[in-house]
Amino acid sequence: MLSGEVAPEMPTFLLACRRERVPRTPVWFMRQAGRSLPEYRKRRGAGTLLEAIHDPELAAELTLQPVRRYGVDAAILFSDIVVPLDAIGFGVDVVQGHGPVVERPFRSSSDLSRLRELEPGVDVPYVIETVEAVVRELDGTSIPLIAFAGAPFTVASYLIEGGPSRTFGRVKALMHSDPRTWGELTSRLAELAGSFLRAQVESGARAIQLFDSWAGSLSPVEYERYALPATSQVIESVRDLDVPIVVFGVGTGELLALMASSGADVVGVDWRVPLDEARRRVGSNHAVQGNLDPSICLAPWSVVEKEALLVLDQAGEEPGHIFNLGHGVLPETDPGILHALVDLVHSNGRAGVVR
């Protein structure tokens, strides 16, 4: 158990997700566990990312490190969006500094047979063990654990391109030329994500984040036609779990209203759209999460402070804001800056804060 905290009736992160009044603005950081932390580098060792994820004791420790150091209001599972694919034997790896790489990329409808259903107890018992270990450690604190998975479009982009892409040419060629195969592929990926998320929540996670990192490569028409249906399928499949659901993508300013229509409770916003405008686009029925540019955190504290206060000002006073970066923490970020940023947000956030 983390020392010294007594849990309120509901953690501030969960209250903000539900657009309820909070004692202070909650804050956490995407990629808060990782290479920016010296204790991460020391503990992680020389193994691969997937090897670390397969080790429940190690993965739990890496999940908890930023909670201890920063005093953030949520933990997020140390994992990766390709874990379900790895678990069903699709042949993927995560190359440091590059991202997921697929041994045999998806090319046609004949590859659909390679995607089977996920059986969490058999395929990802190590994830279940990690979640349970983290939840035990967080018991009695005000810190919930966030489960996560990759949204079908983004996972499909890795499967089809074979790795990260700047153009998403193969992805777009397939979805436009063979929409039936595309629809079947993304539906199966939605089932995979839903099973993975359900296992995490049933093991004790109290919120969900669905990462659609590359959705910003799509036009609004493409997103509505080729990505939104499968994203909504994932969300609908776990809605009965009654936990808040966040959906997030990079470069999605023109998609925010569509993302809000997916059934998610919270829409993550990158740094390209001011939060007051993002609130207008997603509507008053949704909370927002974001959105300081991660690169700002490499600047002197005076710059970080100024920009963070601007984000808090743009968030306004209405309930429903979780402070975060507009994407993941950069590896070269000074942990001291993030610690100071948490304190700043807790002291100066106004959205829904009870004075």
In this predicted model, what pLDDT tens digit does every residue of 16-52 receive, in sequence order? 999 999 999 999 999 999 989 999 999 988 888 999 9
CATH number for position 183: 3.20.20.210
How much is the pLDDT for 98? 65
Confidence of residue 247 (pLDDT cuts 50, 70, 90): very high
pTM of structure: 0.95
Q: How many C-alpha atoms does 76 have within 13 Å on its Cβ side?
A: 22
Helix then strand then coil, in percent of the chain rounded to 5, is: 50, 10, 35
Determine contact, residues 72/32, Cβ cutoff 8 Å. Answer: yes
Where helices occur in the chain by DSSP H, the ranges are 12-17, 38-44, 49-53, 56-70, 83-87, 120-123, 125-138, 152-161, 169-177, 179-202, 220-222, 228-238, 256-260, 275-282, 301-315, 335-348
Mean pLDDT across the stretch 263-282?
A: 98
Confidence of residue 93 (pLDDT cuts 50, 70, 90): confident
Residues annotated as catalytic (active site), given as ranges: 31, 35, 44, 80, 158
Mean pLDDT across the stretch 313-325?
A: 98
| 309 within some domain | no
How much is the pLDDT for 96? 73
| 26 within some domain | no
How much is the pLDDT for 99? 75
Mean pLDDT across the stretch 65-94?
A: 94
> Which domain range does residue 281 map to?
46-290
| 122 within some domain | yes
| 38 within some domain | no
| 217 within some domain | yes
| 2 within some domain | no
Mean pLDDT across the stretch 217-227?
A: 98
Q: Which helix (H) or strand (E) holds 148?
A: strand 145-150
| 315 within some domain | no
How much is the pLDDT for 4? 40
Residue 200's alpha-carbon distances to 50, 60, 116, 342, in angstroms, are 17, 13, 19, 26
| 355 within some domain | no
The number of domains in the chain is 1
